[in-house]
Amino acid sequence: MTTHSDIFEQPRVARRLLETQRESIAETARFIREQDYNHVLIVARGTSDNAGRYAKYLWGSMNGLLISLAAPSLFTTYHMPPNLANTLVVGISQSGQSPDIVAVLKEAKAQGCPVVVITNAPDSPLAEQADRVVNVCAGEEKAVAATKTYDAQIMAVAMLSAAMREDAEMQAALEKVPGWIEQVLEKDKEIARLAQRYTYMETCAVVSRGYTYGSAFEWALKMKELAYVVADPYSTADFLHGPIAVVEKGFPVMVIAPSGVMYEDLKDLTRKLHDETRADVLAISDNPELADSATSFIQTPAGVPEWLSPVVSIVPAQIFAYYLTCTKGLNAEAPRGLKKVTETY
C-alpha cells in the first residue's frame, strides 16, 4: 500500500523539514530579501503547480509579493520568452527533471534573474539552475501519485513565508503541523467508510477559495489520477459565475472550508447547494457547524490558522481519493497512463 504509506509518512516529513531545514530556509529568505525585484514568477507543473497556487496566496498576503504562474510553452514551444526584468523566479518540482521547467529557469538565469528552487531532488537538473535550493526532505515517494511531496512543498512554502517575515508567531504555529496531521490520520477508517458512499461517482466539482484554492485543484487532481473521476476545481466566485448551473439533485460537490476570512463565503455556498439544489455535499472543515449543511463531513483539527490550513486539510482529501480508488476496485499503485516522473517540453 505505497500510496497509503506515503500519506501516513507526512507527519515525519513535516518534522524532518522543521528539524533539518530551518536554517537553510532562513538563509534562502535572507537571499530573497536582498534581491532587487518587484515580481515573483513561479514555474511548475501538475501537483507542483498547485503548491504554486498556495504560494501565490500566502506570499501575496503575508509577504506582500506580486506573484504569477509561468506559461512554460512560451519558453519551449513558441521560443518567445517574456522579459523577466526585476523578477524573482521560483521553480517548484518534485523530481526536478521536467525539461520545460528547467528551460524556464535557464532563460531566467540568462536574463540575470535570481532563482530559487523548491524540490525533493537537490541534485537535479532544476536545482543546478538555482541560486538557492530548498530541499523538501520528503524522501523517496514510492507511489506514482504525489502526496507527501505535495504536502512537503507547501510546508516549505509556509516556512519560507514565516522566515521572510521573521515572524515568531508563524514559526510557533508551524511547529504544531505534525501533530495536526497526526490527528487527521486518526480518521483513516472513518474516511474509508465515507468513501464507499461515492463508489459510483463519475464526475464532481471541488470548491474552495483563498489559501485553500490550490487544495481544491490538488484534491481534484488526485481523484482524476487515482479514481478516474472527472473532478473540476473552482473558487467559490468562479463556481457561481456559471458552473453552478450543472448542479442538480445528488450532484457531488466537494468543499474545503477552513475557519478564517473565507469561511462565511464557503459556508453560504454549501448551504445554497444543500438546501436549494439538493446537491451531495462533502465538506472538509474544522468548524463542526458546517456538518449541518453537508451530506457528508470530515472534521479537521481546531486551532489551525487559516494560512496553514492547506497543509492539514489536504490530508483527508488524499485519504478520501485513495479509498475512493480502492472502493471502485482500481489499483492506486498503477494509475493508467502515468509514471512517477513526467517530462514535458
Where are the domains positioned within the chain?
Answer: 2-175, 179-327
Nearest alpha-carbon partner for 51 in 169, 156, 194: 156
Choices 3.40.50.10490, 3.40.50.720, 3.10.520.10, 1.20.80.30: CATH for 179-327: 3.40.50.10490
- The order of strands in the sheet holding 296-299 is 230-235, 203-208, 252-256, 280-285, 296-299
Q: Where are the beta strands (DSSP E) in the chain?
A: 39-43, 67-69, 87-93, 115-119, 132-135, 203-208, 230-235, 252-256, 280-285, 296-299
Query: Which residue has cell 446537491?
Result: 279
Altogether, the residues listed in the chain come to a count of: 345
Supply the mean pLDDT for the chain. Answer: 95
CATH superfamily, region 2-175? Glucose-6-phosphate isomerase like protein; domain 1 (3.40.50.10490)
Given this chain, do its domains 2-175 and 179-327 carry the same CATH topology? yes
Q: What is the pLDDT of residues 137-165, one digit of tens each?
A: 999 888 888 999 999 999 999 999 999 99
pLDDT, tens digit only, all 345 positions of the chain: 599 999 999 999 999 999 999 999 999 999 999 999 999 999 999 999 999 999 999 999 999 999 999 999 999 999 999 999 999 999 999 988 889 999 999 999 999 999 999 999 999 999 999 999 999 999 988 888 899 999 999 999 999 999 999 999 999 999 999 999 999 999 999 999 999 999 999 999 999 999 999 999 999 999 999 999 999 999 999 999 999 999 999 999 999 999 999 999 999 999 999 999 999 999 999 999 999 999 999 999 999 999 999 999 999 999 999 999 999 999 999 888 766 566 666
Instruction: Report how far apart, in Å, the C-alpha atoms of 162 and of each of 143, 158, 314 are.
Output: 30, 6, 20
| CA pair distance 83, 79, nearest whole angstrom | 12
The pTM of the whole model exceeds 0.85: yes
* Torsional sign, CA 91, 93, 95, 99: negative
Q: What is the pLDDT of residues 40-67, one digit of tens each?
A: 999 999 999 999 999 999 999 999 999 9
Q: Which residues are catalytic?
A: 340
Q: Where are the beta strands (DSSP E) in 126-219?
A: 132-135, 203-208
Three-state SS at 301: coil
Report which DSSP code applies to 149.
H
